[in-house]
Structure 1
Amino acid sequence: MTKSVASHVRWVEGTLRRALKDEGFRTRYGKSLRDLLGPGATALCQMTDDGQLRARELKTPTKGVTASQRRRASILRRLAAAAGVPSGAISYPKPKLKATMPAWARSALHDGLKKEVERKPGAPGRARLLVIISLVLDTEARSGELCSIGLAHLAPDLSMVKIRRNPQAITSSVYTTEVWPVSPITQAALSNWLPIRGLLVEDLQGERSALLVVLHGNRTFNGQGAYKKGMPLQVRGLIDSYRTHVKELKDEVTSRGGQGWELPQGLEQLRRGVRERRAAYDRDRLAGAVPKWGPAVVLNPLLPQEEEAKKTAAVFAKVARAVDAFHQVREAAAGDETEPPVVRARRTLREATRMAWARSDHPTTLKVLRQAGIADEDLAAAGYHELMLTALERS
């Protein structure tokens, strides 16, 4: 049983306890598990549908079929199966998915996003939101996948990001890591966010490697525990903050006379808005064609380790050759960094550095570069962004 399912079981247990406090319910269904999880489960579903048995009084009206109802019924069926009795939980239809963005709106969103990034917002919430939107549009990352991104998952020049895929309804602990190229818009958004993020984690003790971090501390517990400024942003906080900051952004853009902002109110709606591209990628890959949109590298832990080790060794060897070539043409150019051979050698070195990072990590890549003869002052020539080096050092 996963941690998520365990928390749902405790949630349904609390609902059952509240129901059994009612004398009528307890008399009718409280004599055995067969009664409680059979007809009792039916009655429980009907009571919760009517807004009864809430842990606390809420002013919000009861809705139609919700994810909570489906989740509660699923747990009740699990409990009945474990007890070996027939389940009376109601089978709810799957709710309709909320509308996403049409293709024209996605194009307008890219244009609007570019303008907002170019403004270089200093407000932490705005800067972080632009990073979130950009990464979702580039990679179709889920909320949990976004929260798991750390500084180590950003390429030396911020041109790529590693996404550890965590698909739903899969209980395996072995996940594929995809290395995705990101757009210039995303790179600019990251360049703006990293210094702001550095200030947020400055006073934080312990781990400081998360890309998306909390903006304000919280002294209360709110059922989730206290948290401090700069701590890693969790999924619930990501979803709530997206909704809040998207509304602020749309209101501000409208007040400036801007148009074309079709940003969905929910982060999952935004992600599903780019699913068409992901579906096209899957079709092309299965057909044996090279997808137009997809990850540059896929790291699958189920592949033979010997094969992956050979690929990694070949990439490291390419870095060493690129460093040698760079030094040779640089020496021949007598210090003129604008000479075409120097520019080409630098481009080759940066590409080799990116691929070395994609198949390993930053400490290993930096070690390979230094062993090949790259001095610290030449790390920028090898593709390491100054912001990236500073962030890695602070973390």
Structure 2
Amino acid sequence: MSTRTDEGRYPAVEELPELVQQVLDDPETTKSVAGHVRWVHHTIEKALEREDYKERYGTSMRALLGPGATALCELTDSGELRLRGFKNRPQGVTASQRRRSSVLRRLAREADVPSGAISYPKPPRKPTMPAWARSQLHNGLKKQVEKRPSDPGLARLLVVVGLVLDAAPRTGELCTCGIGDLAPDLTWVKIIRNPQAVASTHHLTEVWPVSPITQAALEHWLPVRAQLVTGLQGGARSLLVSHGHGAYRRGTPLGRKGLIESYVAQVGELKGAVTGVGGKGWELPEGLEQLRLGVQEQRRSYNAEQAAGAKTPQWGPAVVLNPLLPEEGERKKTAAAMAKAALAVDAFHAARASADDETDPKVLRARRTLRETTRALWARTDHTTTLKLLHQAKLTNDDLAAAGYKEPLLDTLERA
């Protein structure tokens, strides 16, 4: 607790809270960064409780954020100022060290004084998967999905791995993925991109094709997930939910930390199980981010080969919804998608009426068109809008399968 004597002798002690608030009030300060700023503020306050530190660096903001920042880094690295009380010195450069220095430099810029924060070297990036490992990964995923595992954690892991292989979402993007982000026939998935260091709340929505392997993993996971959320109030719209392992309540949405922890645990169990029966082990990376980076590297190599004229498969989103584009153009595209879906329903009824049975080529073509237009409408709207239009176009619930709607998804949407 500062006193009037402190105010005269140590003005930096009184000025620090106001400086921190200025940074927190900055519109460019994201919620995540704000948490880091408060954390560093508490660390500085802890250091100022030491009379020697306050005597030396509390005399001005120039001293506190200049040589005082250097001393703060050294004290924290040695374990003397760790807020959780750990005394061991970290092995190598940690993310916390780099994050703390970044905040100290930000405070110094706000105070218009030179920063003394230690600049830590960026740690070497963990190696991602080689091309041969990615091929084995697809094969291993297919084998595991075909077994239809009863373990909820493994069933969920297969969905996570499949979605990362298909669309390379970040962990946070996976956590925000909901039931409504799955296409009616599970062949597409919406990923709301939320790149790091972007403060804007307006983000691209990319609609990615989903591989047959991932579709099978989703079809198996949805009924398992339904059992986990039974009787749960709230959270029923999240795609990835807890199976009640550890501190996470059964059926609750998985957050970023929970997803990372569950990935590590399930990968370890799966590798052990496969190796224990004489297999080579599954070539999954230890971390979820390593898996994503490996997929991104593969995508970049595909793009480079295409630019060079090679006939490699197209790898990219089927639809991109940009909130920064003119609304009028987006409304026209949505209206066109609605009109096409309504016409496809009419064509489907007409083909049925003129055919002898459901195997008639006319009916099969009409069914395929209906499925494609339904999926395109969902991509630009949502399931509520899509189902409402189909019903208004006189498509009965019994015929929703013709529009591509999978029964497990319909059941999950109804519960949600």
How far apart in 2 are the matches of 1:281 and 1:257? Answer: 35
Q: 2:194 aligns with which of 166, 178, 192?
A: 166
Per-residue CA distance 1:149-203 (angstroms, 9 max, x = gap): 0011000011110000111121121110000010011111111111111111111
The answer (yes or no) to whether the contact 2:180–2:383 under 8 Å persists in 1 is: yes
Amino acid across the alignment from 1:326: F
* CA 374–106 in structure 1, closer or farther in 2 if over 3 Å, else same: same
Q: 2:403 aligns with which of 349, 372, 382?
A: 382
How far apart in 2 are the matches of 1:121 and 1:385? Answer: 20
1:38 aligns with 2:66: yes
1:197-276 to structure 2, matched below 5 A, reads: 197-216=225-244, 228-259=249-280, 261-276=282-297
- Give the deviation of 1:48 after TM superposition: 2.1
Indicate the residue corresponding to 1:312 in structure 2.
Answer: 334
* CA 243–34 in structure 1, closer or farther in 2 if over 3 Å, else same: same
* CA 291–81 in structure 1, closer or farther in 2 if over 3 Å, else same: farther
- Give the deviation of 1:60 after TM superposition: 5.9
Indicate the residue corresponding to 1:349 in structure 2.
Answer: 370
Indicate the residue corresponding to 1:326 in structure 2.
Answer: 348
My pick for the range that moved more, 358-367 or 15-24, is 15-24
The answer (yes or no) to whether the contact 1:100–1:269 under 8 Å persists in 2 is: yes
Indicate the SS of the match to 2:402: coil
- Give the deviation of 1:333 after TM superposition: 2.1
What are the ranges of 5 or more consecutive residues in structure 2 without an aligned counterpart?
1-28
Q: 1:84 aligns with which of 112, 115, 123?
A: 112
Amino acid across the alignment from 2:327: Q
Q: 2:126 aligns with which of 98, 103, 110?
A: 98
- Give the deviation of 1:285 after TM superposition: 9.8
How far apart in 2 are the matches of 1:12 and 1:150? Answer: 34
The root-mean-square deviation of aligned C-alpha atoms, in Å, is 2.2
Per-residue CA distance 1:300-346 (angstroms, 9 max, x = gap): 11112222122222211211221122112212223x21222222211
How far apart in 2 are the matches of 1:264 and 1:178? Answer: 25
* CA 254–292 in structure 1, closer or farther in 2 if over 3 Å, else same: same
TM-score normalised by structure 1 residue count: 0.92
Question: Runs in 1 of length 4+ with deviation above 3 angstroms?
Answer: 57-61, 280-291
1:280-295 to structure 2, matched below 5 A, reads: 280=301, 292-295=314-317
How far apart in 2 are the matches of 1:361 and 1:119? Answer: 32
- Give the deviation of 1:61 after TM superposition: 4.8
Indicate the residue corresponding to 2:218 in structure 1.
Answer: 190
- Give the deviation of 1:21 after TM superposition: 2.6
My pick for the range that moved more, 339-348 or 113-122, is 339-348
The answer (yes or no) to whether the contact 1:105–1:260 under 8 Å persists in 2 is: no
TM-score normalised by structure 2 residue count: 0.88
Indicate the SS of the match to 2:208: strand
Amino acid across the alignment from 1:72: R
The answer (yes or no) to whether the contact 1:70–1:92 under 8 Å persists in 2 is: yes
* CA 311–127 in structure 1, closer or farther in 2 if over 3 Å, else same: same
Per-residue CA distance 1:357-395 (angstroms, 9 max, x = gap): 011110111111111121111001111000010000000
* CA 273–290 in structure 1, closer or farther in 2 if over 3 Å, else same: closer
- Give the deviation of 1:286 after TM superposition: 9.4
* CA 256–7 in structure 1, closer or farther in 2 if over 3 Å, else same: same
Indicate the residue corresponding to 2:21 in structure 1.
Answer: none
| Bigger radius of gyration among the two | 2
- Give the deviation of 1:33 after TM superposition: 2.0
Amino acid across the alignment from 2:400: L
Indicate the SS of the match to 2:403: coil
Indicate the SS of the match to 1:274: helix
Indicate the residue corresponding to 1:224 in structure 2.
Answer: none
Amino acid across the alignment from 1:16: I
My pick for the range that moved more, 261-270 or 58-67, is 58-67
Indicate the SS of the match to 2:283: coil
Aligned length: 387
How far apart in 1 are the matches of 2:230 and 2:306? Answer: 43
Q: 1:303 aligns with which of 325, 328, 331?
A: 325
Q: Which has the higher contact order (CA 8 A, sep 6+)?
A: 1
My pick for the range that moved more, 61-70 or 34-43, is 61-70
How far apart in 2 are the matches of 1:2 and 1:307? Answer: 30
Indicate the residue corresponding to 2:13 in structure 1.
Answer: none
How far apart in 2 are the matches of 1:291 and 1:252? Answer: 34
Indicate the SS of the match to 1:331: helix
